[in-house]
Structure 1
Amino acid sequence: MTAQEVRAAGAYGQEPDPDVLAHNYHPLPVTIESAEGAWVTDTAGRRYLDLLAGYSALNFGHRHPQLVDAAVRQLGRVTLTSRAFDHDLLLPFAQRLSALVGPLTAGGADGTMVLPMNTGAEAVETAIKVARKWGYDVKGVEPGAATIVVGSGNFHGRTTTIVSFSDDDDARRGFDPYTPGFRTVPYGDAAALRDAIDDTTVAVLLEPVQGESGVVVPADDYWPAVRAITAEHDILLIADEIQSGLGRTGTTLASELWGVRPDLVTLGKALGGGVLPVSAVVGRRDVLGVLTPGTHGSTFGGNPLACAVALAVIDLLATDAPQAAARELGKVLHARLAALVDAGLLVRTRGVGLWAGLDLDPARGTGRDLCEALLARGVLAKDTHGSTIRLAPPLTISRADLDHGLDALTAALEELAPPAA
């Protein structure tokens, strides 16, 4: 089936009721019923190779047996206590996550604290609140004046505060009045970042690799320069590792790629293993320590079921097997994508580990066109802006399946090739 036939068919499987579901997404026409590993099956029984992996939430594939087993065992014990009471997995979760991520932050092995939440956007909101309170209580910024420097092209979520400093018109337009206190500078421009800092600045918030913008990897000297600037001015460096962290780039954190240790790290997506939402802010104890009872909270944050699954995720990451797979298969991915550029089928590609952004010549079609052509060949991917798509296969994907997906990509690109002049 061609991409045109996909559009004409409307959907593989169940047709959604447009009067029931809010139209805040424009999904590809496929309705998934079951999944395992790197593969999903729709309601009509057709199988697809998943090269999106839930925007990196499914780093370990669908229904990873260790994660499912952890969830099932915990379902038979207790799923929620609220933070009004402790439970037996909360402290072990914090200890294990601190041991895994703490040495990669400025908190170090012994000076790290963990604050559990649910979604990635909640983790970013938490980091913003903490940075402001630290700025007032510790740095001595004038009350109500705190500012945070962010990068252009950012994506940190879609809450009202976060879209206030987004430059994505779809995410931002119509949701004003906007929250003040943010200064946007060109991503990758350390000099512009330095110029934006003054006595009101409490933090710099950046993605080490910008996922939603099309897997934008900065120059190698950028993150070390940002770390030096923030240290010089005694302000916090917050790394949003919600998409880039937990193995995707071939390292536990993407910031490791440049030897940089942020003050705070936001984690999400893969921390819940694709089983349920789990997020956290991890970093310096003296910074997270500004929070006191009543200043921040979440009914479901750090719930027993979430902790059980996250502990199983940490077990997987502690082996370094997912990171190693991303490193090794990433070489295959990027070599084959480079060949497609050389063949004139793509304009450019970029990425790191098992993560890539692909730019299609707009004359050939949009990113959506390419994703529909892939769908017709049994492969799932997602477009982002214009003629760009992202690939983020599960880190558990086999070499054979990865090659199969890239063969389908080649065929899809050839289908979209414009007629010869």
Structure 2
Amino acid sequence: MDTKNSVTDGPELAEPYLRQVLGMAGLAVEYVRAEGNTLYRRGEGDEEIAVADFAGGYGSVLLGHNHPDLVACAQELLAAGTPVHAQFSRHPYANRLAAELNRIVGRELGTDEPYFAIFANSGAEAVEAALKHAELDRGLRIAALRSAAKDAAEAARDAVAQGRAQVPGRVRRRFGIDAGAPSTDALEQLTARLAAENAAHLDRPPLFLALEGGFHGKLGLSVQLTHNESYRTPFRALGAQARFVPPDRPEALKEIHARERGVLHVLEVSGDQVDVVEREFPVFCAFLVEPIQGEGGIRVLDAEFAGAIQRFCAEIDCPVVVDEIQSGMGRTGRLLASSRAGLRGDYYTLAKTLGGGLAKTSVMLVRRARYRQEFEIVHSSTFAKDSFSCTIALKVLELLEADGGAAYRRAEERGAALRTALEAVRDDFPDLVGDVRGQGLMLGLEFRDQGGSASESVRALAAGGLFGYFLAGHLLHAHRVRTFPTASAVNTLRFEPSVHVSDEEIGRLEAGLRDVCRLLREGAGDRLAGASAG
């Protein structure tokens, strides 16, 4: 296969509009090779141009592009003819991977409760699996409530028929039952009334909770839990309903619960009377949380709000789904970024670096207390749980854990160095840079809104919604640095390099950001756009 000349003369048929947008921002370049923290793009003369990669596959290549140990592992697997398609059979490699994930998760959470693993191909698919499992669990809990209510009604009928209990006046008045009717008739009226009231709740669709600014994928279900309206609204009719919680207002949790909660009225024989008691109906299916919002602007969930979420969900029996797709797998110095905030999930989703930048794989972990074995029959995925991706993922975990977790420590150390550079830019350009956020090697630098710039060209960049992409284009062409803005906060540039990022590359990034700031201060938007198109 010729990788040196892949330019075609025909029409652009692979997402042509996106190609046009990338071209406007100067990002429509072709990368022909990758190693470590470096991507090589094709120059105008067909030469290779080395680019420091701070985008890092949206967090997928913590260990670097084409890590030699992972490449060797992949080559050995392919040379040995490892089966990729051996569905509906025993998969010992998947079980070994699940066991190793459990070992590390147990260490970080301080628990010995196992998490069962459902494998998938992408982060969004892992999220969908978690949501589907949570809805299966909710449905089974509703079925149990139905059954318990039916049994309670039969017990009340028996007690009244045998003269052991009667329907008291206070219950009759509360539910509008004939005060003079015999208890047997009153009970039948009451049972019918409760059945009608309960039916409205029993048929309610699930409600999901998620944080404002969150991003959980763009598939049919997951996109409805992604806060960005431009992604969500066109497909609103297809997906689930969500309520979005402001991350700075923990009191909003109880406000939403008060508005949306469901209650079932169930009969109960208490002494010689038939009473009506309330049972909480599981309206809320799951609460999705990113410990660090990637596409929302690299915003870190603080421990206080994490604790509020944990307590609230425990009170209403709503499972917590921790989306670690971008923040997990060692990027913050731990396998689970959420463990720093003290947040424990009923579910975890992991992807990106799990495949080492080579295998397309992900996993949904669900704790034993929540697990429903029926899910294994009603959910499946053609390419999931195969020998190739599972073995690569096991090698990734081996590399992360080697030398007492040296890779985790490296992520923290390199992240601290990168943060120092970003904060130096912020400190020198406070009129242009608003904030530096994140943890480890998942950092963001937010530019202030330039809609009020004295420069018409800068205002035009800000108004076009592509401000961050033009900045990225300038950094690429003028400084050989690759980064992107976050998808839902386009004034925030993301930095998610590998643990191999060097001081020279960090210095190059800092110089590039300082150049961008000087051009913005000078109002030289045309020069920013010009370099992007170069």
CA 1:92–1:209: 2 relative to 1, 3 Å:
same
Give the aligned residue type for 2:129: T
Q: For 2:232, which of 161, 172, 183 is the aligned residue?
A: 172
Check the 8 A contact 1:116/1:281 in 2, yes or no.
Answer: yes
Q: For 1:286, which of 366, 369, 377 is the aligned residue?
A: 369
Q: Of the two, which has the highest radius of gyration?
A: 2
Check the 8 A contact 1:105/1:284 in 2, yes or no.
Answer: no
Q: Deviation of residue 251 (structure 1)?
A: 1.8
Q: Deviation of residue 307 (structure 1)?
A: 0.6
Q: For 1:92, which of 86, 92, 96 is the aligned residue?
A: 96
What is the 5 A alignment of 1:100-249? 100-104=104-108, 108-138=111-141, 140=144, 142=202, 145-197=205-257, 198=261, 199=281, 200-249=283-332
Query: What CA distance in whole angstroms lies between the structure 1 residues aligned with 2:255 and 2:107?
Result: 30
CA-to-aligned-CA distance 1:215-272 (integer Å, 9 cap, x gap): 0113331112211221222221110000010111222111111122211100111101
SS in 2 for 1:149: strand
Pair 1:395 & 2:499 matched? yes
CA 1:174–1:234: 2 relative to 1, 3 Å:
closer
Query: What CA distance in whole angstroms lies between the structure 1 residues aligned with 2:480 and 2:8?
Result: 18
Deviates more, 1:351-360 or 1:187-196: 187-196
CA 1:16–1:274: 2 relative to 1, 3 Å:
farther
Q: Which has the higher helix share?
A: 2
Query: What CA distance in whole angstroms lies between the structure 1 residues aligned with 2:303 and 2:375?
Result: 38
Check the 8 A contact 2:127/2:349 in 1, yes or no.
Answer: yes
Q: Deviation of residue 143 (structure 1)?
A: 5.5
SS in 2 for 1:248: coil
2:439 equivalent in structure 1: 352
Deviates more, 1:330-339 or 1:134-143: 134-143
SS in 1 for 2:303: coil
1:41 equivalent in structure 2: 40
Q: Deviation of residue 165 (structure 1)?
A: 3.2
Equivalenced residue count is 408
Query: What CA distance in whole angstroms lies between the structure 2 residues aligned with 1:15 and 1:47?
Result: 23
What is the 5 A alignment of 1:250-399? 250-319=333-402, 320-344=405-429, 345-361=432-448, 362=450, 363=453, 366-376=467-477, 377-384=479-486, 385-399=489-503
Query: What CA distance in whole angstroms lies between the structure 2 residues aligned with 1:15 and 1:415?
Result: 36
1:10 equivalent in structure 2: none
Query: What CA distance in whole angstroms lies between the structure 1 residues aligned with 2:109 and 2:141?
Result: 19
Query: What CA distance in whole angstroms lies between the structure 2 residues aligned with 1:419 and 1:304?
Result: 55
Q: Deviation of residue 293 (structure 1)?
A: 4.2
Query: What CA distance in whole angstroms lies between the structure 1 residues aligned with 2:377 and 2:139?
Result: 17
Q: TM-score normalized by structure 1? A: 0.90
Query: What CA distance in whole angstroms lies between the structure 1 residues aligned with 2:64 and 2:359?
Result: 13
1:9 equivalent in structure 2: none
Q: Deviation of residue 71 (structure 1)?
A: 1.1
C-alpha root-mean-square deviation of aligned residues, in Å? Answer: 2.4
Check the 8 A contact 1:136/1:143 in 2, yes or no.
Answer: no
SS in 2 for 1:416: helix
Query: What CA distance in whole angstroms lies between the structure 1 residues aligned with 2:471 and 2:378?
Result: 47
CA-to-aligned-CA distance 1:88-132 (integer Å, 9 cap, x gap): 4122112112222244459x3342211111100100000001111
SS in 2 for 1:231: helix
Q: TM-score normalized by structure 2? A: 0.72
CA 1:324–1:408: 2 relative to 1, 3 Å:
same
Check the 8 A contact 1:137/1:290 in 2, yes or no.
Answer: no
Give the aligned residue type for 2:427: D
Query: What CA distance in whole angstroms lies between the structure 2 residues aligned with 1:16 and 1:317?
Result: 44
Check the 8 A contact 2:211/2:244 in 1, yes or no.
Answer: yes
Query: What CA distance in whole angstroms lies between the structure 1 residues aligned with 2:7 and 2:409?
Result: 38
SS in 2 for 1:348: strand
Pair 1:74 & 2:77 matched? yes
Check the 8 A contact 2:441/2:497 in 1, yes or no.
Answer: yes
CA 1:292–1:158: 2 relative to 1, 3 Å:
closer
Deviates more, 1:171-180 or 1:37-46: 171-180
Check the 8 A contact 1:102/1:112 in 2, yes or no.
Answer: no
Give the aligned residue type for 1:119: S
Query: What CA distance in whole angstroms lies between the structure 1 residues aligned with 2:29 and 2:113?
Result: 48
Give the aligned residue type for 2:78: L
Q: Deviation of residue 359 (structure 1)?
A: 1.6
Query: What CA distance in whole angstroms lies between the structure 1 residues aligned with 2:33 and 2:109?
Result: 38
Q: For 1:408, which of 504, 512, 515 is the aligned residue?
A: 512
SS in 2 for 1:357: strand
Pair 1:50 & 2:50 matched? no
Give the aligned residue type for 2:441: L
